[in-house]
């Protein structure tokens, strides 16, 4: 049987996780599409920690009869692995898009230099360089 102290500590930690994720969403520091996995993680861990009989039953199904709270750790680890895989795919997509964007910017700068009547390798005039960098500074 799962000790009450462990169930209580896990439930409190799950509630804190859910509250932190909701606060990050509210403060617009975490997008909803990325927060979904965190919220699911918090809810599943909360259910498993609050429903001690269910945790013991699942532990029995998985053959973990000596220490059922180990299932909480295994579930949390599984969700962290899923989150890492998800973020790896997002980072890979962003990297590919960043490469394409850098190539397009380089092509546009080359075209701008050609239209200004300079060769692509020639040093830029001070005024032209300021015109190219000012929009970037305004964007920040």
**Domain boundaries, given as residue ranges, for the chain:** 4-139
Query: What pTM was estimated for this model as a whole?
Result: 0.66
In whole angstroms, give the CA distance from residue 126 to residue 12. Answer: 60
Instruction: Tell me the per-residue pLDDT of 71-91, one tens digit each, with 9 for 90 and over.
Output: 888 988 998 898 899 899 999
Predicted local confidence at residue 134, as pLDDT:
55
Burial class (CB in 10 A: 0-12, 13-18, 19+), 10: buried
37: its two tokens? 């996995």
Instruction: Tell me the per-residue pLDDT of 118-130, one tens digit each, with 9 for 90 and over.
Output: 766 656 555 555 5
């Amino acid at each position: 049987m799962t000790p009450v102290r462990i169930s209580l500590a896990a439930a409190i930690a799950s509630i804190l996780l859910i509250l932190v994720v909701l606060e990050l969403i509210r403060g617009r520091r975490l997008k909803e599409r990325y927060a979904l996995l965190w919220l699911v993680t918090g809810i599943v861990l909360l259910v498993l920690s609050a429903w001690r009989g269910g945790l013991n039953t699942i532990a029995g199904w998985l053959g973990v009869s000596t220490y059922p709270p180990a299932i909480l750790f295994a579930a949390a680890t599984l969700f962290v692995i899923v989150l890492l895989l998800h973020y790896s795919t997002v980072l890979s997509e962003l990297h590919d898009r960043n490469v394409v964007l850098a190539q397009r910017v380089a092509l546009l700068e080359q075209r701008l230099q050609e239209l200004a009547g300079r060769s692509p390798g020639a040093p830029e005039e001070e005024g032209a360089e300021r015109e190219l960098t000012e929009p970037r500074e305004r964007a920040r």
